[in-house]
Copies of this chain bind each other. A is one copy, B any other.
Amino acid sequence: MSLLETKVSTEVPGPKSKAFQNELERHIDARTVHIVDADGNRYLDVYSQIASVPVGYNNPTLLAAAQSPEMLSALANRAALGNFPSTKWAGILENSLLKIAPKGLDQLFTAQSGSEANELAFKAAFILYRRRQRDGKAWTDEEIQSCMNNAEPGSPHLAVLSFRNSFHGRGFGSLSTTRSKAVHKLDIPSFDWPQASFPALKYPLKSHVAENEAEEQRCLKEVEQLITSWRLPVAALIVEPIQSEGGDNHASPAFFQGLRDITKKHGVVMIVDEVQTGFGATGKFWGHEHFNLTSPPDIVTFSKKAQTAGYFFGDSLLVPDKAYRQFNTWMGDSARVLMSGAVIKEILDNDLVAQCARVGDTLYAELTKLAETYPTLVKNPRGKGSGTYIAFDTKDAGAFIKAMKTNGVNVGTCGVETVRLRPMLIFTEEHIPILINALTKVLSSISA
C-alpha cells in the first residue's frame, strides 16, 4: 500500500478499537479516547494529536534523537534541572530551543506543558509588577507574613487580561484566562480577571475592510479601558496570535501592534501564547512574526509541536529579584528538550516553515473552491497567508469530522461549528488531493 493511501474497512471506531477503549475504561476516564490503529484502518492525520505532532510519525531524525546517549542519560537519570543539571545542559539548550528563540528574546525558562508555561509567565509578570512598586525596597515583614495566609499585601490582588474565546490552559491561573468553553471552566474557582472582546472579523476580508478595522479598534479600546478601569491592577495581557481552540479567530497585524502599543503605554507585560501557533505551521516559525511588531512581546510561551514547553523573554527584570522564586523540582524535562532539538533540526534542515507557507497557499486556494461550490457548508474559510493554519465554519462540525474519519481523514473541530486543519509540517502538495477528495465526498454527501 502506498504511503499516501488511506484505508477504512470497518465502522469507526472499529470493534478492536472499542475493545481497547473498554480495557482502558477500567482504570481511567476513557470517554475522550479514539484509538485509531486497532482495526487496521489507516488515516491521513490532519489533526496531529491536537496540533502537537511536528514532523510526522516515526520521523528518522526523531528516532535517532530518541536513541542517543544523551537521551539514555536524560531518561534514566532525570535531573532536577534547576539545581543539578548535567554539564551538558547548556549545550543541549543551545543546540535546541535557543536556536529558535524569537527575535529580541534571548532568555529561557523550561516547563512541561503549555498551561505550566503560561502560569510561569504570569508569575514572572506579577513578581515584576510588585518589584516595580517596591522600587528597590526590601520585602516588609507584613508582606512576608501576610502571603503565608494568602492575604494582602503579600498575596496581592492583581489580574491578567485575556480575550473572549481564548484558550490558555487548565491550571487554576491559566484557566482563569481561558474563555473558550464552559466545559473547561464550570465549577472551578477562578480569579476575578477581565476579558476583552477579540475581533470578530467578517469574511471575505476584502469585502469588509472598513467594518473589520472598526471592529479591531473597538476591541483595542475595550482592552485599554479594562486596563485602566478594572477593579484589580492588570499586570499582564495574554493573547494567541490566532485563537485556536476558540474557533481559529484571526486578527490583523495592526490589531496586534495596537496591543503592543497599549501594553507598553501602561506597563503591562505582553504575553504571546504560541502553544499552538509556534513551530512553523503558520508559515513563519512564530505566529507573531506575521505582525511586524515595532518591539518584541515581553514573553512568548510554547509547547505542543515543540514536544516540550516553556517561555522566552528578553527583559532581565523578568528574572525575579531573588533565586528560588520561579522554581520547581524538574523545571522541564531534558528528554523532551532533546526531542525538541531533533524537531528543530528537522524543521531548519528541510526548510519546513517555507514549505508550510507554500503548501498552505495551495491548500487555501483549493478550500476556496469548495467554499464556492458549497457556500452553506464551507463558510468563512480563513487562514490565507497563514501557512496550513486553515479553518472554516460548517453546520454540524461534530458530524462532519466523523464523516471525514469514515473517509480516511482525521480532522478536528474548534469554536462552535468550526473545522480546523492542523496538518503536520511535513504535509506537502501530494497530501492535498487526499484531503480535498475526502472533503468533497463528505460535502457532496451532506448536501445530497
List residues of A whose CB falls within 8 A of some B CB: 16, 20, 23-24, 26-29, 31-38, 49-50, 52-53, 57-59, 62-63, 65-67, 71-73, 75-80, 82-87, 89-90, 93-94, 98, 106-110, 112-116, 119, 122-123, 126-127, 129-131, 139, 143-145, 147-151, 154-159, 164, 169-174, 176, 179, 182-193, 195, 303-304, 307, 319-320, 322-330, 333, 335-336, 339
**Which residues on B sit within 8 Å (CB–CB) of A77?**
53, 57-58
What are 28 A-B pairs with beta-carbon distances under 8 A?
A20-B87, A20-B90, A23-B90, A24-B85, A24-B93, A28-B108, A33-B84, A33-B85, A50-B83, A57-B77, A63-B76, A65-B76, A66-B75, A78-B307, A113-B116, A115-B328, A127-B187, A129-B187, A144-B182, A151-B192, A154-B182, A154-B186, A154-B187, A155-B189, A170-B328, A183-B324, A304-B329, A335-B336
Judging by beta carbons under 8 Å apart, are B93 and A80 in contact? Answer: no
Closest to A75 in B: B66
Q: Could you say how many copies of this chain the assembly holds? A: 2
Judging by beta carbons under 8 Å apart, are A148 and B185 in contact? Answer: yes
Residue among A32, A65, A106, A122 with max Cβ neighbours from chain B (10 Å): A32
Chain A interface, DSSP helix/strand/loop, else mixed: loop
Closest to A22 in B: B90
Judging by beta carbons under 8 Å apart, are B113 and A329 in contact? Answer: yes
Query: A34 to B79, alpha carbons, bound, how many Å?
Result: 11
Judging by beta carbons under 8 Å apart, are A84 and B139 in contact? Answer: no
**Which residues on B sit within 8 Å (CB–CB) of A324?**
31-32, 183-184
Judging by beta carbons under 8 Å apart, are B83 and A186 in contact? Answer: no
- Of B28, B52, B73, B150, which contacts A330 at CB under 8 A? B52
**Which residues on B sit within 8 Å (CB–CB) of A58?**
73, 76-77
Residue among A26, A63, A112, A154 with max Cβ neighbours from chain B (10 Å): A112
